[in-house]
Amino acid sequence: MTQKTVAVIGAGLTGLSTALYLKKQNIPFKVFEKSNRVGGVIQSHRKHGFLWESGPSTGTLGKPEAMELFEDSDSLDLLEIASPVSKKRYIWKKGKFRVIPSSPISGLFTPLFSLRDKFGILLEPFRPRGTDPYENLSSFVKRRLGESILDYAVDPFVSGVYASSPDILIPKYAFPKLYNLEQEYGSFLRGAFHKMREKKTDRDRKATKQVFSAKGGLGALVEKLETFIGAEHIVTGAQNLNCSPTEDGRYQIMQSGKLETFDGIIFAAGAEHLFEVFPFLNQPKFHDAVKVTYAPVIEAAVGFKKWNGLSLNGFGGLIPSKENRKLLGVLFMSSLFTDRAPAGGALLSVFMGGLRRTDYLSRSDSELRETVLAELGEMLRIPNPAPDLFEIARHEKAIPQYDILTAERMKIFGEIETAYPGLILGGNGVGGIGMADRIRQGSQMAFRLE
């Protein structure tokens, strides 16, 4: 029997994960990437002794596939686990960053939540199970945990991860684990208790809450993956790629005047690019597949050779919308990972915009710089902030939202796969947005070809 040949569309973390596992199975494959480099939104930079990211900054090893990616690409030497200070996380409330409680006792004393909600947690297991699968996150959290927990835990968390609002996210798609705890066990607490007692396999144990990056930045991991996969398998600068089915049930790809035929195609780009790659899918019944709401994110890397602000003893701080500040959050990157700033200095990664402030995208660099320095100066008590590094990255379509459109998008992705055997559709429009989600989906897609 001859081996099936596969094309992978997109060489972000998802496509690279797919390619890694195609290579491991000795399946002949080729990756087509539109831009001139691989890695997608992942990009690391160095200047003046600072090392910063203009895309994702940290991931969690929350799925075994994330650790396996490092293992299976011989990249364990690159894996960098965040320093233990990462366990300390802050939320801004009434003029101060406050530590997120890490135990039930510290939870009782935190000024972040109301007394009513602190004690109300005890009643959580007795609250009725939700019945609306499309209930939004705000209502879901208010119903189970209370309003102050929504405002001072969930809202800032959602800003940090989705650059979004709990009013638009649907837990069933955005936080499926949490949603399933309620559906399966009737309660988060009861569900978490059951999960803790479940027997774990060695593979399950690879999934931890640890925060990771790579030595030399996440860009170094991308470079390693590219080398491991083999540059000969990757076509960059693949503009205007056009894929269509052939009469014998295969797929042909036309790119730069060259026609190539494959048995299977794995789509690992954002959902909005679907019809660009597969014009034959642009049919009314599939139109909702490309309807995606994106949150914009502006990221500022701010470096100080000599730090003289508050002690950066933690992961970073998130800012609830209720507090009406101009930033979404700040990560203390040089406290988490080595080599991010010169000794005695600091590197901060600041996030702005999101669905809260879409207008920030059109602001000039100098306006954004003024805003960031004024906010950081006050929040981290930096006298006359004059950074040695200030770099802005604008991402207009940063984070796909797992909102009410997601149900239809997922359904149509499934219908397309059924209608066109050999087409496997992934990308961050389905299956989660975090790096561990991307690695899981990417690796699973590599094993789905029959």
Ligand X SMILES: Cc1cc2nc3c(=O)[nH]c(=O)nc-3n(C[C@H](O)[C@H](O)[C@H](O)COP(=O)(O)OP(=O)(O)OC[C@H]3O[C@@H](n4cnc5c(N)ncnc54)[C@H](O)[C@@H]3O)c2cc1C
- Dist CA 4 CA 264 (whole Å): 7
Which of 6, 238, 319, 430 is close enough to bind ligand X by CB under 6 A? 238
**Total of chain residues touching ligand X, rule CB under 6 A:** 38
Q: Which residues contact 317 (CB under 8 A, 6 or more apart)?
A: 89, 90, 91, 92, 97, 329, 330, 379
The residues that bridge with 299 in the sheet, in sequence order, are: 351, 393
| CA dihedral of 31, 270, 435, 25, whole degrees rounded to 10 | -30
CB of 26 to ligand X, least distance (A): 23
Nearer to ligand X, 395 or 440 (CB): 395
> Does 435 sit near ligand X (CB under 6 A)?
yes
Coil vs helix vs strand at 150: helix
**Which 13-52 residues touch ligand X, going by CB under 6 A?**
13-15, 32-35, 40-42
Q: What is the DSSP-derived secondary structure letter of residue 152?
A: I
Which of 72, 135, 276, 339 contacts ligand X by CB under 6 A? 276
Tokens of 347: 């590197």
Of 240 and 311, which CB lies nearer to ligand X in the complex structure? 240
CB of 154 to ligand X, least distance (A): 18
Nearest-approach distance from CB 249 to ligand X, in angstroms: 23
Backbone angles phi, psi at 248, to 5 degrees: -95, 25
For residue 228, the number of C-alpha atoms closer than 13 Å in the C-beta half-sphere is 22
Burial profile 415-441: b = 16 or more Cβ within 10 angstroms, e = fewer = ebeeebebbbbbbbbbbbbbbbbbbbb
CA atoms within 13 A on the CB side of 413: 25
Q: CA of 403: how far to CAs of 133, 183, 224, 281, 420, in Å? A: 12, 19, 34, 23, 27
Among 214, 253, 297, 350, binds ligand X (CB under 6 A): 297
Near ligand X in 47-76, by CB under 6 A: 55-59
Q: Return the residues of window 326-345 that contact ligand X according to CB under 6 A.
A: none
Determine the interface stretch with ligand X among 113-121, 174-182, 266-274, 287-295 (rule: CB under 6 A).
266-274
Nearer to ligand X by Cβ, of 342 and 354: the residue is: 354
Does residue number 159 form part of the binding site for ligand X (CB under 6 A)?
A: no
Please pick, from the candidates 270, 296, 320, 329, the single residue that binds ligand X as defined by CB under 6 A: 270
Question: x/- site string to ligand X, residues 415 to 434, per CB under 6 A?
Answer: ------------xx----xx
144, 161, 317, 215 alpha-carbon torsion, rounded to 10°: 140
Tell me the closest approach of the beta carbon of residue 182 to ligand X, in angstroms. Answer: 24
Strand partners, 212: 59, 81
Is the CB of 52 or the CB of 113 nearer to ligand X?
Answer: 52
Q: Check residue 12 for interaction with ligand X (CB under 6 A).
A: yes
**Shortest approach of ligand X to residue 423 CB, angstroms?**
15
The reply to whether 412 sits near ligand X by the rule CB under 6 A is no
- Residue 32 or 304: the one with the smaller Cβ distance to ligand X is 32
- The two tokens of residue 354 are 């999101």
Q: Which residues are at the interface with ligand X (CB under 6 A)? A: 9-15, 32-35, 40-42, 55-59, 238, 241, 268-270, 273, 276-277, 297, 299, 395, 398-399, 427-428, 433-435, 438
